[in-house]
Chain A
């Protein structure tokens, strides 16, 4: 089954304690992205990756890091979490923008709810 898998689904932690949210896709997609969802603001892009070893900032990258060492995995790292990073996070993937001349719809994971105390 084609899917995007995020772990953990829920996490409560404290300010300053480094954490990593993993994301894995089994569709051989080149493009992967992280979003955060906050009430009334919709989803905002944090970072994205066009392919292995190619990452770039989205609209709200401050306080986050990512890596793309393998095609299937795109972890989100919070080196020193703060309460304003309490949010619902989504990982998404899609085929490369260069395929088929069409914009390929993104497949989303089920989300990770982070609470930073």
Chain B
């Protein structure tokens, strides 16, 4: 079984400042890793994913994440946030042998202040 922990439930940040959202996972097997974003009253949209290869993954809207196998982490970063980045962000894992099943973290709500 897999589990995902997002260490911060809320992150307030000023516009144009950098932001880092932390994600740690546990799994006894190899996993794929994802970050999803949920804007108010909308479904989830894929930001980026790590399947294999380079541990630094670039996604949409200027976000990137780094896979660290030894620390079992997949932290999400953006060097300069905009008001429009206000949303809830979910880290998720999928065991490579378990097909499409996603296990989600509890979410991190990002509030960008002017």
Taking CB atoms, residues of chain B closer than 8 Å to A48 are: 100-101
Chain B residues packing against A (C-beta within 8 Å): 4, 6, 9, 32, 34, 36, 41-46, 49, 51, 90, 92, 94, 96, 99-102, 104-107
Nearest-Cβ distance from residue A115 to partner chain B, whole angstroms: 15
Taking CB atoms, residues of chain A closer than 8 Å to B4 are: 42
Given contacts A40-B9, A102-B51, A103-B32, contact A108 B44 (CB under 8 A): yes
Q: Is the CB of B51 within 8 A of A4?
A: no
Taking CB atoms, residues of chain A closer than 8 Å to B44 are: 43, 90, 92, 108
Q: Is the CB of B100 within 8 A of A42?
A: no
Interchain residue pairs A-B with the least CB separation, the first 5: A97-B99, A42-B104, A108-B43, A108-B44, A43-B104
Residues 85-117 of A at the B interface (beta carbon under 8 Å): 90, 92, 94, 97, 102-106, 108-111
Given contacts A42-B90, A109-B43, A110-B41, contact A103 B105 (CB under 8 A): no
